[in-house]
Amino acid sequence: MKKSLFFAVLVLTLAVPLTICAEMTKISIERKSQESPPSYRYQSVNKALSDIFSISSNQIQPEDNCANLEILRTEYPTFFDHSTKRLLLSIDGRYIMVYVRRPDDSSENVQLATEGANIISSMLPIYEQYFSPYPCNNIYINAFDDAAYAYASPGYISVGGANGVNSWTLLGHEFTHHYFHSAMSYSWLAEGAAQFLPYVNHYQQLRNGTTTLRELYGDYSSFDFTFNDFVANEMSNWAKSSLEQDGISPDTPLCAVDTDLEKGADLGLLFMTDAYLNMGEGNYLNAMATLYERYRITKQKNAYSDIMKVFEYFTPADKQDFLKNVRRKLCQPVKVIQWPHLDRTQVMIGR
């Protein structure tokens, strides 16, 4: 939120190959996770796509919005001038290209960029497991000193100000926008996902034993905490506190904040925490994966009716009060679609 979570502006930038006259340092980085991303999709996601939308994961289309630095350089020439240091980092044959505007200290450039690339490399295989293979061929990060804001589009991250290219909170937020952005659904869903999913991703890293970064969780870092407790007692309260500061009721329908990015981010985060706690981790992640894949298959933005159908599909039968609240938040008719074939108590992620 404003005080506790990073809030960023989401911009979708269409893009396309680059020739840059800048110093380039090459660094090779190995993935921290020993598991390769699965080549399959979850059975429950495939079934949901078929049952709800009569489509298949086999129909998935390329991401149209992947960044192309030639266009970005034309639009933002000062970001890629001759003093910019270019750092090329290889991860599993793919590349993270980092541009850091600190020409007076190239060693700092390398250190910052390496830390940032490691953050991305640790998140990447988990998002690929949760949702789908990464949608772009390369990841471009532009880090500069002279502006305190950030934005992202698939394949591209721009960061600046007090938060740098090695900020886990900032990069996690922006990297999530490579999957969840304004072309695939409403801004509240994209921003809510970007506020919430990096913590789910990082908690998976803790469970995998691939990170020791526990200070993200404040008082919870001193013991083996329950992540649900952290979500319920900290993240939900962050969202409610931020809404209260702005004089906004947490019961405000999401359909009332379509064009308000900041209100949508707070209400979206609250929606994500409620969904995670009521649906369970596997059902929640599979619902988000279904929405993402529907966008990639149909090239259509997920509307409120699409979101409602997916959450109805994956919500356990004993969580009808939660579903009623979802319908109200999404301004959908009070009509229940029954999906009796799915045992939602046995959902496993990526299995």
The pLDDT tens digits of the residues spanning 141-173 come to 877 655 556 888 898 888 765 456 677 888 899
Asked if residue 171 and residue 241 are part of one domain, the reply reads no
Residue with more model confidence, 111 or 67: 67
Is the residue at 7 inside a domain?
no
Is the residue at 181 inside a domain?
no
Average pLDDT of the segment spanning 300-308: 95
Asked if residue 326 and residue 199 are part of one domain, the reply reads yes
Q: Residue 286: pLDDT above 80? A: yes
Asked if residue 193 and residue 342 are part of one domain, the reply reads yes
Q: Domain total for the chain? A: 2
Match 């002279």 to its residue by tokens: 146
Task: Note whether 319 and 278 are within 8 A (CB).
Answer: yes
Residues near 282 by Cβ (< 8 Å), separated by ≥ 6?
347, 348, 349
Asked if residue 191 and residue 171 are part of one domain, the reply reads no
Three-state DSSP class for residue 89: strand
Asked if residue 304 and residue 211 are part of one domain, the reply reads yes
Is the residue at 45 inside a domain?
yes
Asked if residue 307 and residue 281 are part of one domain, the reply reads yes
Least confident stretch, 79-88, 167-176, 210-219, 328-337? 79-88
126, two tokens: 């988990």
Give the closest residue to 13 by CA, choosing from 68, 89, 81, 74: 68
What proportion of the chain, given as a percentage, has pLDDT over 70? 65
Q: Residue 99: pLDDT above 70? A: no
Q: Residue 185: pLDDT above 90? A: yes
Last residue of a domain, one of 176, 200, 222: 176
Query: What pLDDT band is residue 71 in, cutting at 50, 70 and 90?
Result: confident
Rounded to two decimals, the pTM is: 0.82
Query: What's residue 275's pLDDT?
Result: 96
Average pLDDT of the segment spanning 17-32: 37
Residue with more model confidence, 88 or 64: 64
Asked if residue 298 and residue 200 are part of one domain, the reply reads yes
Structural domain harbouring 266: 187-346
Helix (H) or strand (E) holding 213, with range, is none
Residue with more model confidence, 54 or 101: 54
Query: What pLDDT band is residue 29 in, cutting at 50, 70 and 90?
Result: very low
Residue with more model confidence, 175 or 40: 175
CA distance 130 to 45: 10
Give the closest residue to 70 by CA, choosing from 23, 110, 13: 13
Task: Note whether 261 and 336 are within 8 A (CB).
Answer: no
Asked if residue 66 and residue 130 are part of one domain, the reply reads yes
Is the residue at 197 inside a domain?
yes
66, two tokens: 């992947």
Last residue of a domain, one of 176, 203, 220: 176
Is the residue at 318 inside a domain?
yes
Last residue of a domain, one of 155, 176, 197: 176
Asked if residue 123 and residue 199 are part of one domain, the reply reads no
Strands (E), the chain: 24-29, 85-91, 94-100, 138-143, 151-153, 156-159
Q: Residue 125: pLDDT above 70? A: yes
Asked if residue 338 and residue 315 are part of one domain, the reply reads yes
Is the residue at 8 inside a domain?
no
Asked if residue 106 and residue 202 are part of one domain, the reply reads no
CA distance 89 to 30: 10
CA distance 341 to 330: 25
Q: How far from the centroid of its chain's Cα atoms is residue 225's Cα?
A: 23
Match 């789910």 to its residue by tokens: 200
Is the residue at 12 inside a domain?
no
Asked if residue 80 and residue 215 are part of one domain, the reply reads no
CA distance 81 to 90: 23
Is the residue at 6 inside a domain?
no
Query: What pLDDT band is residue 220 in, cutting at 50, 70 and 90?
Result: low
